[in-house]
Amino acid sequence: MDDILVINSGSSSLKFALFGRGAAVSLGDFKVRYQGHFSGLGGHQAHLVVRDGAGQTLRDELLAGDGKHWGHPEALEELLEWMEARPESGGIGAIGHRVVHGGRDYRAPVLLQPAILEALEALIPLAPLHQPHGLAPVRTLAQLRPDVPQVACFDTAYHATHKAVAQTFALPRQLTEAGLIRYGFHGLSYDYISRCLPDHLGTKATGRVVAAHLGNGASLCAMQDGVSVASTMGFTALDGLPMGTRCGTIDPGVVLHLMTQDGMTSDQISDLLYKQSGLLGVSGISADMRDLLDSTDPAAAEAVALFCYRTFREIASLAAALGGLDHLVFTAGIGEHAAPVRSMVCQGCEWLGVHIDEVRNARGEVRISTDDSPVGVWVIPTDEERMIAWHTARCVAGLGT
């Protein structure tokens, strides 16, 4: 069976993975042939890293020369040509994309057709940091390899199970009907985590789980028996927890004040809330949690403390939505690697029955709760690319998810 190429595209980076399908029944059947990323795209050079399935580096190089522009299209062309020239290449049978916003209409992975692509492009204002970059490679690849089917996998789809009470803003009804609701994001990550939980928790996987996807973007998801019931993210990926450069929940009165009193335009406010706020804005130092944990500047400590405070407050809110808490799961860059952040967040959840063993936490063990903790606390690496490969294979085979 032909391989599946997965593309997860950001503003100046492009992550990719090529999966062999094997029996293609369970998530574990998908074997990584290559995975890597381009970074620094948009200028006259770019950095490419490619590793094989065993983690061996195959390419780690600066692509530059002759004044050539290295944008996303050039990166995709380079990638296809390199992959297809590999002796073990079996050909690319399908391409799966992470598309952040599916809006009201796209609640499951979909085989991309021109009309669907246009409908998804109309959602760009709802996810300005993500949607344009997620969709642009679809057009490029349709030109480069017109015969290869492409599938969009949505961050919002996993949350389509939310009840109206979890989705609705207290706004006039006609706005709700027009689609101004909470969608929730990071759904590919939560979908993956929910499918992995039984491997770790056994029969206890059914229960009330809060998963914390803490990366560049950060959110929480409440799951009941593996099904999403609530999320901290809303209409856009700006809501909920503070993030690297995004503000998270703020009083909408602040936005009105910035417009009416400070005369800021919508573009300026958008830039402020999406790109200048969060860890970067509070610390004035960096959007990267590693830099803040390494810094001795009190402003860095304040930014970390605010991030943790908002996170444990929201965990309690989602526990209320679930009527209690059985397990707490940390994932993504910060959740998987930043032990001090996990520790501070869990301290704020002690009253909920969250007790962690600091030695297990510092070692980053899979289970970091104490043996007698009423709530199990877990560190489980996410794998959005594998989830996309699985959905893409099922979608092109005409199977449901």
Ligand X SMILES: CC(=O)OP(=O)(O)O
What residues act catalytically? Answer: 155
Q: Is 275 in the site for ligand ADP (CB under 6 A)?
A: no
| Pairing of the two strands 110-111 and 327-331 | unpaired
Among 32, 46, 338, 349, binds ligand ADP (CB under 6 A): 338
Taking the C-alpha atoms of residue 323 and residue 341, their distance in angstroms, rounded to an integer, is 25
334 has binding-site annotation = yes
Q: Binding segment for ligand X among 193-201, 213-221, 304-312, 359-367 (CB under 6 A)?
A: 213-221
Residue 137 touching Mg ion (CB under 5 A): no
Give the strand pairing for 45-52 and 150-154: unpaired
- Least Å distance, CB 75 to ligand X, is 18
Nearest-angstrom CA–CA distance, 117 and 134? 11
Least distance between ligand X and beta carbon 174 (Å): 27
Residues 6+ apart with CB under 8 A from 46: 38, 39, 40, 62, 63, 64, 70, 74, 75
Instruction: Pick what 186 binds: ligand ADP, ligand X, Mg ion, none; C-beta below 5 to 8 Å, kind-dependent.
Output: ligand X
Taking CB atoms, the residue at the shortest distance from Mg ion is 215
The answer to whether 213 is annotated as binding is: yes
Place of tokens 């499951």: 108
Coil, strand or helix: which one is 101?
coil
Amino acid identity, position 341 = V
- By CB under 6 A, is residue 278 in contact with ligand X? no
The only residue of 109, 215, 234, 376 in contact with ligand X, by rule CB under 6 A: 215
Binders of ligand X among residues 184 to 203 (CB under 6 A) are 185-186
Is 53 annotated in a binding site? The answer is: no
How many residues contact ligand X, by CB under 6 A? 9
Residue 337 is assigned to a ligand binding site: yes
How many other CB atoms are found less than 10 A from the CB of residue 206? 13
Q: Distance between CA 118 and CA 194 in Å, rounded?
A: 31
Q: Which of 100, 152, 280, 352 binds ligand X (CB under 6 A)?
A: 100
Interface pick for Mg ion out of 187, 215, 244, 335 (rule CB under 5 A): 215
Gyration radius of the chain's alpha carbons: 21
Three-state secondary structure along 313-378?
Answer: HHHHHHHHHHCCCCEEEEEHHHHHHCHHHHHHHHHCCHHHCECECHHHHHHCCCECECCCCCEEEE
Nearer to ligand X, 156 or 373 (CB): 156
Please, which residues bridge with residue 31 across strands?
A: 20
Residue closer to Mg ion, measured from CB, 215 or 248: 215
Contacts of residue 299, defined as CB under 8 A and 6 or more positions apart, other chains included, come to 282, 283, 284, 285
Stretch 216-235 residues interacting with ligand ADP (CB under 6 A): 216-217
> Do you know the residue count of the chain?
401
Span near ligand ADP by CB under 6 A; candidates 38-46, 52-60, 211-219, 304-312: 211-219
Exactly one of 216, 283, 311, 373 binds ligand X (CB under 6 A); that residue is 216
Residues of span 242-271 touching ligand ADP by CB under 6 A:
244
Among ligand ADP, Mg ion, ligand X, none, the one that 337 touches (CB under a kind-dependent 5 to 8 A) is ligand ADP
Nearest distance from C-beta of residue 362 to ligand ADP, angstroms: 12
Q: What are the binding residues?
A: 8, 15, 98, 213-217, 288-290, 333-337, 384
Residues near ligand X (CB under 6 A) are: 100, 130, 155, 185-186, 215-217, 237
